[in-house]
Chains A and B, each alone.
Chain A
Amino acid sequence: MTKKICALFLLFAALSVNVVFAVPANEKILNMSVVDEPNLMSQSEIKSLTDKIKTIETKYNIRVGIEFLNSIGNSDVESAARYLLNQRYGDGQNGGILLLVDMGNRKWQIVTDAKLQQVIPNPNDIAGGFVNKLLSGDYYGACAGYLEGIDQFCGYYAKNGAAYDSSSGFNPMAAVMAVLIAILCGIGVRSWLIGSMSNVRHEVAASDYLKRDTVKLTKNRDTYLFTNVSRRPKPRPSSGRSGGGSSGGGGGSAGGSF
């Protein structure tokens, strides 16, 4: 039993070390709000993003981070993002949020701490259009959209004292679907009502006149012929372009692949 506990502890320690060492621990970048390890953006773009982050941080007393890394190896992107958030962006008075993009595995993750989770319950809500911009290589646009989302959510919270509920907003897709289905139902109801005005129908069967006691099956044979087999691969749960969100006591997160 003791051996098992020791083994589990060692495994946990190894995984933790893996996370710690997989992400860059360069002292130079510790104070930066935008880390662009693969050099995806120009200096002016980084400066523009940094300025925007400073504005948001000052306005709402939060910490905001953007990190593009070459690779985090085999580490779990959410664990890595959470580790970085706690290490570098955990000192915001009203909380912190980090966007981590692992270019090696082409995965992204947005994580918030427990404080900012009150303001942004589902970080997936601020990732609208984010993945498409990443796919098209517009990294600056993706980051700008992310910052704009943070600004909107924090502004809404500051004004209303409650988090913006994305599900309460108008959903045009659902509206179009509702109108179409309701119209189809209306057409169906109309056809049924008009059809009910007549009970004149052709009789196609003579079941009313069948003498049930005369029915005798004289042949009843089932012969197996062949078997067709069709196979299709199962959809991989994590292979989607965008991922799902989750929240817990330690903060919220959203992520996926691109």
Chain B
Amino acid sequence: MANTSVSYQCPNCSAPLSFIPGNKKITCEYCGTEFEVAAIEEMFAGKRELAARTEEAQAAKWDTQNAGDKWSADEAAALKALTCSSCGAELVCDENTMATECVYCGNPTMIPKRFDGNLKPDLVIPFKKSKADAVAALKKFYEGHYLLPSNFTANNRVEAIQPMYVPFWLFDSSITAQAEFRAEKIHRYETASEVVIETQVFNCQRAGKMSFEKIPVDGSKKMDDTYMESIEPFDYSELVPFATAYLTGYLADKYDVPAETCAPRADKRVENSAISVLRSSVKNFDNVDMQSSAVVKDVGKVLYALVPVWILTTRYEDKPYTFMMNGQTGKVVGSLPYDSGKAFMYPAICTVILIPIIYFIASMIL
């Protein structure tokens, strides 16, 4: 998308441009289009700036040093337990588990043994939705899907429901974006014998500054990135400083994907949105195509947060189906199975109904 070098090319045919001595205009030797020197100079000055900015953008890094905090000695001491403090059963969990529930007595338990040297979250969004809310939301999610197999809902039983705090990196960034667009104004008119289409071509340069706040990117390998992006957005007005008390009764994982690894996903989203903002400022044209762009991060800050997610698993024809619900907003995401018979029947009915209607219209036209 963005280049770090600039070559002078004809805006009409992309052939190399050269200045012909003695001529007041720059002429493309290939397509013959003439350009004002000032217009070309202005256009390529923008490109040079873009190229320079692109180099800067490639060099810019996120400041991840301040993301998260060290566990205090008190906190670590309070969390020391590998066996259930209630019934003494041994807790089995993976290497990233921060909090879990004893499978024997249901006692909520913290497991800080593997926390040493890891970060403490800065923020947490507490759970707002209960288990009953999650089950009800899932049932509601099934509604309105015409291809859902009939026995899926009839015999449906949620196999597992787990509330989990998922580690997220929240990226704050202030950026400077620049983009160059090729825009066209099309004027069509008719003479007595011809249809004439005049296309005026413009070079539109836009630059701007804007800030994005807390773009969430999950820092857990075992959570599907697409699912985590689908449960967005979150209401950040309910973010609170992290306290271990929020984890009691819930599963919680620590991050296992560092912020530096997650940053490109946030960068890409910021870039897309920034270009979209600039593009929306190119108005009163019939066609607009982006030619090049550069987004430079002026300030980049990262916070480490835990986000509430309900994970619901159900089974149909021996195949597990996983759904996730935003534990704050109640938004459910997932992929439902579909009935192949219905997937054939409904389109077939639609086709059969449409044939006589289209035939009637077509026979009127032909």
Do chains A and B interact in one complex?
yes
| A residues in contact (CB < 8 Å) with B | 167, 171, 173-175, 177-179, 181-183, 185-187, 189-190, 193-194, 196-211, 214-234
The CA of A226 and the CA of B178, in the complex, are separated in Å by 23
Q: Is the interface of B mostly helix, strand, loop or mixed?
A: mixed
A183 with B195, Cβ < 8 A, contacts A205-B273, A214-B211, A227-B200 known: no
Are B200 and A224 closer than 8 Å at their CB atoms?
Answer: yes
* CB closest chain-A residue, reference B186: A228
* CB closest chain-A residue, reference B41: A223
Are B199 and A215 closer than 8 Å at their CB atoms?
Answer: no
A220 to chain B, nearest CB (A): 6
The CA of A197 and the CA of B362, in the complex, are separated in Å by 34
List chain B residues, Cβ under 8 A from A171. Answer: 359, 362-363, 366
| B35 partner, pick from A194, A197, A225, beta carbons under 8 A | A225
Select the residue from B147, B190, B363 with max chain A CB neighbours within 10 A: B363
User: With an 8 A cutoff between CB atoms, is B318 at the interface?
Assistant: no
| B201 partner, pick from A207, A215, A228, beta carbons under 8 A | A228
| A231 partner, pick from B183, B195, B281, beta carbons under 8 A | B195
List chain A residues, Cβ under 8 A from B365. Answer: 174
List chain B residues, Cβ under 8 A from A194. Answer: 147, 338, 343
List chain B residues, Cβ under 8 A from A199. Answer: 230, 333-334
A190 with B343, Cβ < 8 A, contacts A182-B351, A197-B336 known: yes
Report the count of interface residues on B (CB-CB < 8 A).
85
User: With an 8 A cutoff between CB atoms, is B316 at the interface?
Assistant: no
Are B229 and A202 closer than 8 Å at their CB atoms?
Answer: yes
| B residues in contact (CB < 8 Å) with A | 11-12, 33-35, 39, 42-43, 46, 145-148, 174, 176, 178, 183, 190, 192-215, 224-227, 229-230, 232-233, 266, 268-270, 272-273, 276-278, 281-282, 333-338, 343-344, 346-348, 350-352, 354-356, 358-359, 362-366
B131 to chain A, nearest CB (A): 22
Are B208 and A203 closer than 8 Å at their CB atoms?
Answer: no
List chain A residues, Cβ under 8 A from B282. Answer: 222
| B277 partner, pick from A185, A193, A215, beta carbons under 8 A | A215
A178 with B145, Cβ < 8 A, contacts A211-B211, A234-B194 known: no
* CB closest chain-B residue, reference A171: B363
The CA of A219 and the CA of B355, in the complex, are separated in Å by 54
The CA of A216 and the CA of B281, in the complex, are separated in Å by 11
Are B145 and A196 closer than 8 Å at their CB atoms?
Answer: yes
* CB closest chain-A residue, reference B282: A222
The CA of A218 and the CA of B281, in the complex, are separated in Å by 12
The CA of A194 and the CA of B210, in the complex, are separated in Å by 38
The CA of A142 and the CA of B349, in the complex, are separated in Å by 45
Q: What 7 new A-B contacts, CB under 8 Å, besides A181-B354, A190-B346, A209-B213?
A: A178-B356, A218-B209, A221-B204, A223-B39, A224-B39, A226-B12, A229-B196
